[in-house]
């Protein structure tokens, strides 16, 4: 039986996994450190579109696949930067007190923003109140 191995799927899987992971980490870090969010958003969009254009010009399928996937995840990261900012405002992601943009959110009256990462713990298997949620991560 001729079982020819086609590595393209594995290449795509590795590219997708690494770029999703890198995007995940970068979005959190960049959003936490950046004051003017439009700058990294614009850079991510430009890089994403640029990589898609490169993917269109390359005939080699492996490289075209890599650039195609990287470009799309960068465009997704641009969207996630804005979603992350909303999460910080809602208290669903930790605010960075050293970032003036986040500090302003923390200083708002009745703010939901918090420097705590409410998700930084193991699950306990039941619902918890807002107060207990804070205690569990402190």
Residues binding other proteins (CB under 8 A): 3-14, 16-17, 20-21, 24-25, 52, 55-59, 61, 63-69, 71-73, 75-76, 92, 118-119, 121-128, 130, 133
For other proteins, give the closer residue by CB, 4 or 109. 4
Q: How many CB atoms lie within 10 A of CB 82?
A: 14
To other proteins, the closest distance from the beta carbon of 3 in angstroms equals: 6
For other proteins, give the closer residue by CB, 40 or 48. 48
Q: Is 108 exposed, middle or buried (0-12, 13-18, 19+ CB in 10 A)?
A: exposed
To other proteins, the closest distance from the beta carbon of 53 in angstroms equals: 9
Tokens representing 46 are 């430009």
For other proteins, give the closer residue by CB, 79 or 107. 79
To other proteins, the closest distance from the beta carbon of 75 in angstroms equals: 8
To other proteins, the closest distance from the beta carbon of 88 in angstroms equals: 14
Contacts 24+ apart (CB under 8 A), 37-42: 37/81, 37/82, 37/85, 37/101, 40/81, 41/78, 41/81, 41/82, 42/78
- Per DSSP, 96 falls in state -
């Amino acid at each position: 039986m001729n079982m020819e191995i086609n590595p393209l799927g594995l290449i795509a899987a590795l590219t997708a996994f690494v770029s999703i992971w890198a995007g995940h980490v970068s979005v959190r870090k960049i959003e936490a450190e950046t004051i003017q969010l439009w700058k990294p958003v614009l850079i991510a969009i430009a890089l994403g579109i640029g990589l898609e254009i490169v993917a269109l010009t390359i005939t080699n399928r492996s490289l075209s696949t890599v650039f195609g996937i990287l470009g799309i995840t960068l465009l997704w990261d641009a969207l996630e930067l804005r979603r992350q900012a909303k999460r910080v405002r809602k208290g669903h992601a930790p605010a960075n007190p050293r970032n003036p943009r986040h500090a302003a959110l923390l200083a708002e009256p009745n703010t939901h923003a918090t420097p705590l990462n409410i998700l930084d713990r193991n699950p306990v298997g039941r619902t918890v109140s807002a107060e207990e949620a804070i205690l569990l991560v402190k």
